Structure 1
Amino acid sequence: MRRRPSDEAGGERRVSDLPAISLFGGAGGLDLGVERAGYRIAVALDYDRDSCATLRANFPHTPVVEGDIRAFTTKSILKAGGLARGDAALLVGGPPCTPFSKSGNWLEYKRAGRDPEASLLDHYLRVLDEARPCAFLLENVYGLAYKNHNAAWFEKLLTTCRSLGYHVVQRIILAADYGVPQRRQRVFVMGSLEREPTFPAPTHGGAHETRKEWDRSLRPHVTTGEAIGDLTPRLDLGEPEEHVNGRYGHLLPGIPPGENYLFYTDKRGHSSPLFEWRSRYWSFLLKLDPLQPSPTIQAQPGPYVGPFHWDNRRLRLAEIKRLQTFPDDYEIIGSRRSAQRQIGNAVPPFLAEQIARSLSEAA
């Protein structure tokens, strides 16, 4: 059996003379990958109390600034990290993605580009301008790169970074193509003052949506069975709310691994169809296939929103950490709901490490 990415990722974090500033750090997935790539998180900022506690628990050497970025000057952030303008080797962060996510398109003010949270992207750019790091790395939902109401924000991001003197590249990345056991797509934008950076080449290949062909010389995508199969019989990891009950819970056992509510439709040939075709979100009653990567881990799943385990239950905390490539001993502070949100919003550290390492080579 192949080694899990959570086993392979980077190994030890070491003291580095390459200081980095982290904004919107969340649970620290991006930060962990950055440190494994050779940087040192000199200061981290986030507004969420539990996320800040998680950062302090796992990055004891890092000053954590807790609060809304709009209330902090760049000078105060730099001071907390013992830095001056131009000292930082890297600025990293993922401004809250809700304004750019396709899940919010039903809200008129989001479609019109009037979400006030979108202004947080401006504050990332403000810190980039005033802190003047050698390089930067930004992650967000790939909807930010859509040619819709998000187009103006994305163009502003790229134009502003280039006007500040950075060589900028962007790419929508499928995490599974880099050894993460999850078909998670996100847009990454990175830039360097020295030269144009390049994204790392994919290490794995496999089917995804309409993709029929890929480089067969690459390793196959890491599957959920490889990532969490050894945790399945662990009774000590069981959680009180892992059972799926209520109106639709009894339907889950009938759905084959890798499928969702569409199994119970006339178009799929079900003898007693219960749902109209494409009448629900894709993730409704979605079940993991142990022979495939996981779909995207949700930050705030509803009662019938998957992915669910192939054993017809909700995923346990230890399992979602693995699917996001966090180490087993990584401590998440807060309630179970808070932990789900923190991990679901995080950048997989194994992916972050590979991208940050390629960026360091351009500095």
Structure 2
Amino acid sequence: MSGLTFVDVCSGAGGLALGLEQAGFEPSLLLDEDADSCRTLRANRPRWNVLQADLLDLDPSEHPESYDVDLLSAGLPRVKSSATAARAESGAEERLLRAAVYLAHAIRPRALLMENVPTLVHGDRFRDFREFARAELDHLGYEFSWFVLNAADFGVPQDRKQGVLVAIKKTWHPSFRSPSPTVADHVSVGEALAPSMRSRGWKDADRWAAQAIAVAPTLVGGSKSHGGADLGPSGTKRKWAGLGVNAHSLSNELPGPEFVWAPERGKDGMVQLTVDQTALLQSFPEGWEITGKKTARYRQIGHASPPPVGEALGRAIAHALRS
């Protein structure tokens, strides 16, 4: 089992897949219904086998490369907006979760990884799904680990809690341990973004960075029908204001020498982030290209799983499968 393989569904901008690649996994198939996300995946990894399709319509028998893989990974988009309630009522989110479990039933990977909001692990909203997953996967010979990770504990400059399900065939599960934090001190917004803030000669970049000493609030990309390129609801915007950032919209360019940072004047005196900077806050590497228009690019970034978390999970699963 020298080379580990995986199928990734709801791949988005590739954050989870990139992390798994860094952990030594090679994708056999990546799937997403969003055209921009598929273009992002192909732009960065032309060799990856990317399929644009709805998970609910996937027939594994038409994709034999999906069989005999070590891992099936799935990360559903996060949506915290006025669209959330409607989506939950429609049952679309749980149908995707169940579809991922049914896919595991079809392709029988050695391990299954699912990632979403923290309530996946302990919230009432997902109770029925957890009972369904336990019954279905136990029948297939998997054992379970449910836990919550914070991306900030893995070097991501963002307070981003993630609910995780890892199910591994009983042969290998005793060797699995959930990932331990990889950093002793969290990376602040100022530390993460100072180089980009300086890049066009903004004279207040260091002064801004010196006060932006906390991690960022959770990035949320919004849904296709709701939400634009801003940094979240009103409570989140207030947290950004405390970091000297105007979170009501994203800028098309980095601040230049002429910009005067004066947060005492309110949002008009605060700096705005660019889409590329939000990708840095999600810990995508600088060379990772996110395709599409501004709102579509930010939506992909906000929904992504940070690659360092994917890598930590991948290493923990790989250790168990190689034991």
Q: TM-score, normalised by structure 2?
A: 0.78
- Residue 147 of structure 2 is aligned to residue 171 of structure 1: yes
In the alignment, what sits opposite 1:220?
A: 185
- Residue 59 of structure 2 is aligned to residue 73 of structure 1: yes
Identical amino acids, percent of aligned pairs = 30
Length, aligned pairs only: 276
Q: 1:97 to 1:105 in 2, by over 3 A?
A: closer
- Measured on the aligned residues, the alpha-carbon RMSD in Å equals 2.6
Distance 1:176 1:165 in 2: 33
In the alignment, what sits opposite 2:45?
A: 59
Q: What is the SS of the residue equivalent to 1:41?
A: strand
Q: What is the SS of the residue equivalent to 2:20?
A: helix
Q: What is the SS of the residue equivalent to 1:168?
A: strand
Distance 1:37 1:351 in 2: 10
- Residue 146 of structure 2 is aligned to residue 158 of structure 1: no
Unaligned runs of 5+ in 2: 203-207, 245-260, 262-269
The one-letter code matched in structure 2 to 1:198 is R
Q: Which structure shows the bigger proportion of residues in helix conformation?
A: 2
Residue by residue over 1:268-325, the C-alpha shift from the partner in whole angstroms, topping out at 9 and shown as x without a partner, is xxxxxxxxxxxxxxxxxxxx96211111112135557434662523311221111111
In the alignment, what sits opposite 1:299?
A: 221
In the alignment, what sits opposite 2:196?
A: 231
Per mean C-alpha deviation after superposition, the further-off stretch among 301-310 and 163-172 is 301-310
Residue by residue over 1:142-194, the C-alpha shift from the partner in whole angstroms, topping out at 9 and shown as x without a partner, is 12234423211222223322222112101111111122111001101112113
In the alignment, what sits opposite 1:319?
A: 277
Residue by residue over 1:197-249, the C-alpha shift from the partner in whole angstroms, topping out at 9 and shown as x without a partner, is 21111233xxxxxxxxxxxxxx2111111111111122399xxxxxxxxxxxx
Q: 1:60 to 1:290 in 2, by over 3 A?
A: same
Q: 1:343 aligns with which of 301, 304, 310?
A: 301
Q: What is the SS of the residue equivalent to 1:65?
A: strand
Q: What is the SS of the residue equivalent to 1:150?
A: helix
Unaligned runs of 5+ in 1: 1-15, 205-218, 238-256, 259-287
In the alignment, what sits opposite 2:76?
A: 95
Q: What does 1:79-228 align with in structure 2 at a 5 Å threshold?
A: 79=64, 82-83=65-66, 85=67, 87-98=68-79, 107=86, 110=88, 114-193=90-169, 194-196=171-173, 197-204=176-183, 219-228=184-193
Shift of 1:60: 1.2
Q: What is the SS of the residue equivalent to 1:295?
A: coil
Residue by residue over 1:303-349, the C-alpha shift from the partner in whole angstroms, topping out at 9 and shown as x without a partner, is 57434662523311221111111010101110011110001100000
Distance 2:231 2:10 in 1: 29
The one-letter code matched in structure 1 to 2:320 is A
